């Protein structure tokens, strides 16, 4: 089968089309005939040699796909060949076929195309688990979402609005701030020009936000705590601004705050399956109408131009998810 491999660590041009054996589904696995694959920040880090795939995962990049079930391995239940599905993967998405543990496979929502469905798995698993399940954002509460135009950030804004929360997002330009509002954010601040702590306090009339979804890490930790309400939660999903920070623990205690972090890729199939089961029950029914949670697509490239997709992501100009199509 045709796939894209990382021929050596380096810039986008190290991504090369190659021929690989078609994977075979083993017990509990589903073979997906891939139509579209999502491009994630993690793929660019893997290409640079900074984010190796977990043990046992494919070395082919790609953490989410949409397509149709080609065949199923022994013991797979409730999934049939021919079914339209999307899946979150530990790797292997930039290819004509990939295998996924059955727990990580979800139906493509009604009224969503394969290109649209490729925007879902990695973004919705990450945003839902960190913002709703772990941080516990509730109706009527407020959230500060950093990187509001990223794949994960745009999904987090839409999910928070679906949960009837109030949202303030950060982004690096006025154009991106407008896009955050288009995704449903009630307010947006250009962090290059304004202070997000002041903006979050003003947005909540001095109360502070109940949840922060953060992808900056070290450089933002103290300021995230400043922006937080009493009993609030900072949920960290990336360290783009450094892995270490100094923190006034007294302030953390006085706010009775929680700070938590997690990664999705390293979780076992059954742990991802728990997230998938909650998504299916709580979020999938909201998707067919495309009213609050909609596809957020930046650009679409053919698989053989995966390098251009990575160039686009590393330019930082994208808004929403970049998608690859596999044309046969």
Ligand X SMILES: NC(=O)c1ccc[n+]([C@@H]2O[C@H](COP(=O)([O-])OP(=O)(O)OC[C@H]3O[C@@H](n4cnc5c(N)ncnc54)[C@H](OP(=O)(O)O)[C@@H]3O)[C@@H](O)[C@H]2O)c1
List residues binding ligand X (CB under 6 A).
40-42, 122, 126, 146-147, 149-153, 170-172, 176, 191, 215-216, 237-238, 240-241, 262-264, 313, 316
For the CB of residue 68, give the shortest distance to ligand X in the complex, in Å.
Answer: 25
Nearest residue to ligand X, using CB? 150
For the CB of residue 238, give the shortest distance to ligand X in the complex, in Å.
Answer: 3
Nearer to ligand X among residue 152 and residue 168 (C-beta):
152
For the CB of residue 234, give the shortest distance to ligand X in the complex, in Å.
Answer: 14
For the CB of residue 308, give the shortest distance to ligand X in the complex, in Å.
Answer: 15
Full 3-state SS string of the chain:
CEEEEECCCCCHHHEEEEECCCCCCCCCEEEEEEEEEEECHHHHHHHCCCCCCCCCCCCCCCCEEEEEEEEECCCCCCCCCCCEEEEECCCCCCECEEEEEHHHEEECCCCCCHHHHCCCHHHHHHHHHHHHHHCCCCCCCEEEECCCCCHHHHHHHHHHHHCCCEEEEEECCHHHHHHHHHCCCCEEEECCCCCHHHHHHHHCCCCCEEEEEECCCHHHHHHHHHHEEEEEEEEECCCCCCCCCCCCHHHHHHCCCEEEECCCCCCCHHHHHHHHHHHHHHCHHHCCCCCCCCCCEEEEEEHHHHHHHHHHHHHCCCCCEEEEECCC
Nearer to ligand X among residue 64 and residue 70 (C-beta):
64
Nearer to ligand X among residue 191 and residue 203 (C-beta):
191
For the CB of residue 71, give the shortest distance to ligand X in the complex, in Å.
Answer: 29
Nearer to ligand X among residue 210 and residue 214 (C-beta):
214
For the CB of residue 240, give the shortest distance to ligand X in the complex, in Å.
Answer: 5
Strands 321-325 and 297-302: parallel
In angstroms, the CA 137 to CA 164 distance is 10
Nearer to ligand X among residue 58 and residue 170 (C-beta):
170
For the CB of residue 56, give the shortest distance to ligand X in the complex, in Å.
Answer: 18
Nearer to ligand X among residue 111 and residue 270 (C-beta):
270
Nearer to ligand X among residue 23 and residue 151 (C-beta):
151
């Amino acid at each position: 089968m045709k796939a894209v491999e990382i021929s050596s660590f380096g810039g986008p041009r190290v991504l090369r089309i190659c021929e690989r054996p078609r994977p075979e589904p083993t017990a509990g696995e589903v073979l997906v005939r891939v139509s579209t694959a999502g491009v994630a920040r993690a793929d660019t880090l893997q290409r640079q040699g900074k984010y190796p795939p977990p043990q046992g995962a494919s070395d082919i990049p790609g953490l989410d796909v949409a397509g149709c079930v080609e065949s199923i391995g022994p013991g797979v239940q409730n999934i049939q060949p021919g079914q339209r599905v999307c899946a979150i993967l530990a790797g292997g998405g930039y290819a004509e076929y990939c295998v996924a543990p059955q727990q990580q496979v979800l139906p493509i929502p009604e009224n969503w195309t394969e290109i649209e469905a490729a925007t879902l798995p990695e973004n919705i698993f990450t945003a839902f688990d960190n913002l709703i399940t772990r941080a516990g954002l509730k109706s009527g509460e407020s959230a500060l979402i950093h990187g509001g135009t990223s794949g994960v950030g745009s999904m987090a804004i839409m999910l928070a609005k679906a949960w009837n929360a109030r949202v303030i997002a950060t982004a690096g330009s006025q154009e991106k701030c407008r896009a955050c509002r288009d995704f449903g954010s009630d307010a947006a601040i250009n962090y290059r020009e304004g202070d997000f702590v002041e903006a979050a306090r003003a947005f909540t009339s001095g109360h502070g936000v109940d949840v922060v979804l953060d992808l900056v890490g070290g450089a933002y930790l103290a300021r995230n705590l400043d922006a937080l309400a009493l009993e609030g939660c900072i949920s960290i999903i990336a360290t783009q601004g450094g892995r270490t920070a100094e923190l006034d623990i007294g302030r953390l205690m006085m706010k009775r705050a929680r700070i938590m972090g997690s990664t999705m890729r390293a979780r076992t199939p059954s742990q991802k399956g728990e997230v998938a089961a909650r998504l299916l029950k709580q979020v999938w029914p909201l998707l067919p109408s495309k009213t609050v949670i909609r596809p957020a697509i930046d650009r679409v490239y053919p698989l053989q131009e995966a390098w251009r997709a990575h160039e686009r992501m590393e330019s930082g100009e994208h808004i929403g998810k970049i998608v690859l199509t596999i044309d046969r």
